[in-house]
Amino acid sequence: MRIRAKICGITRVEDALTAARCGADAVGFVFYEKSPRNVDVERAAQIVAALPPFVTAVGLFVNEDAATVLSIRQRVGLDLLQFHGDETPEYCQSFSAPYIKALRVRPELNLIQYAADFSSARALLLDAYQEGVAGGTGKTFDWDLIPAGLSKPVILAGGLDAENVGEAIRRVRPYAVDVSGGVEQDKGIKDVAKIAAFMRGVLDAEV
């Protein structure tokens, strides 16, 4: 099976085009002012306009008010919404748009129940938990906490890079992988060689 890949935290046209050229299926834009990868709405719109066809533009939000999400989605031309905070299923599906729900995995989280609660999500993105940090931690988590046979496709995130993505795919067998810090030279600034190596790692690991 081909494993999909998303490169998150894009702030520059050249990084989006590198991701697409290297075979990424999606690029992610962080619309969260507290993030060092927060991207200006007009700039995100310019990047999306430069994307080749068949590359999905994902907008990431953290506990954002609904009117702002709607406005950014329309202005940027987002294909998919990613909710990375404490959003409820009712909130997430209120946009009548495809969405993925990010969950920060820790032992006490009942992922089977969350998958049922977020039945309207296209997939669950599973990320590392770090207190007080909404995401983009650059940290892996214990992949054994992911139960087999979840009712939603899994997008594996958290501390992935070219070195560990192969093992991650073989162990978790996710639908897709998501990376940000592992392909950066600085926060929000991607590295061509790291993106290329990461995408080679994804292709080589296909199961």
Ligand X SMILES: O=C(O)c1ccccc1NCC(=O)[C@H](O)[C@H](O)COP(=O)(O)O
Q: Find the binding residues for ligand X in span 139-168 (CB under 6 A).
A: 157-160
- Residue closer to ligand X, measured from CB, 30 or 80: 30
Query: Is residue 59 involved in binding ligand X (CB under 6 A)?
Result: no
Among the candidate windows 30-38, 90-98, 169-177, 193-201, which touches ligand X by CB under 6 A?
Answer: 30-38
Question: Residue 147: which of 109, 118, 117, 120 has the closest Cα?
Answer: 109
8: contact with ligand X by CB under 6 A:
yes
Spatial CB neighbours of 135, under 8 Å, sequence gap ≥ 6: 35, 60, 62, 84, 102, 104, 127, 157
Least distance between ligand X and beta carbon 126 (Å): 10
What does the alpha-carbon distance between residue 24 and residue 7 come to, in Å, rounded to a whole number? 7
If the CB atoms of residues 53 and 159 are measured against ligand X, the closer one turns out to be 159
Residues that bind ligand X (rule: CB under 6 A) add up to a total of: 26
Q: In sequence order, what DSSP letters do the residues of 141-160 get, joined into one string?
A: --GGGS-TT-SS-EEE-SS-
By CB under 6 A, tell whether 32 contacts ligand X: yes
Closest to ligand X by CB, 9 vs 115, is 9
| Contact flag: residue 100 with ligand X (CB under 6 A) | no
Contact between 35 and ligand X by CB under 6 A: the answer reads yes
Paired sense of beta strands 184-186 and 189-190, if any: antiparallel
The minimum distance between CB 160 and ligand X, in angstroms, equals 6
Residue 18, H or E segment:
helix 13-21
Stretch 70-99 residues interacting with ligand X (CB under 6 A): 84
User: What whole-number distance in Å separates Cα of residue 148 and Cα of residue 111?
Assistant: 10
